[in-house]
Structure 1
Amino acid sequence: MNEIVIDTEYVTLGQFLKMVDIISSGGQAKWYLAENDVFVNDELENRRGRKLRHEDIVELPEVGKFIVKDAFLEE
């Protein structure tokens, strides 16, 4: 499982997709989520504004699984 470290309280699912190079701009998030399954904590998610926080697990089938880590809590 890949770790994605954030230095804010949360990131949105759209921001996350950009961070892991799935999309190149925020405008593509809506399209990507409409066309592909994305699971957050084992639940299907299609809201690009979904807030991802420390320890949330994001699964992108055929891409991989990611865990969100807070940079300040991991010190």
Structure 2
Amino acid sequence: MQTLEFTLEGEYVELNQLLKLVGVCASGGAGKMLVASGVVSVDGQAELRKTCKIRAGQVVSLGEVRINVAAPATVPPDAAQA
């Protein structure tokens, strides 16, 4: 099984966009079709909501691909001022 790591840029990413961003499909529309076909699962449960909000700590699976979703990197407050 191929494992991919994805780091969020915000609080969440929509499922169809995640599939596009990690390169599993060519477009968000293709991602929607994959989700609608029932082959995508989130945390071990089949997911049919194309724009389901995927948050840090969740695992998305599709065939032999597993996507681990991580929280965005945080910048210490004092480092942002420098």
Question: Displacement of 1:17 after TM fit?
Answer: 0.7
With normalisation by structure 2, the TM-score equals 0.76
More helix, by proportion? 2
Residue 48 (structure 2) aligned to one of 46, 61, 64: 46
The reply on whether 1:70 has 2:41 as its aligned counterpart is no
Matched residues, percent identical? Answer: 33
Q: How does 1:49-60 map to 2 (within 5 A)?
A: 49-60=51-62
The equivalent of 1:9 in structure 2 is 11
Normalising to structure 1: TM-score of the pair? 0.82
Q: State the one-letter code of the partner of 2:31.
A: A
**Which ranges of structure 2 fall in alignment gaps of 5 or more residues?**
77-82
Confirm or deny: 8 A CA contact 2:4 2:22 kept in the other structure: no
Structure 1 or 2, whichever has the larger Rg, is 2
Q: CA deviation at 1:23?
A: 1.8
Task: Name the Cα RMSD after superposition.
Answer: 1.8
Matched residues in 2 for 1:58 and 1:27: separation? 18
Q: Any stretches of 5+ residues in structure 1 without a counterpart?
A: none
Instruction: Provide the rounded CA distance (Å) in 1 between the counterparts of 2:6 and 2:18.
Output: 9
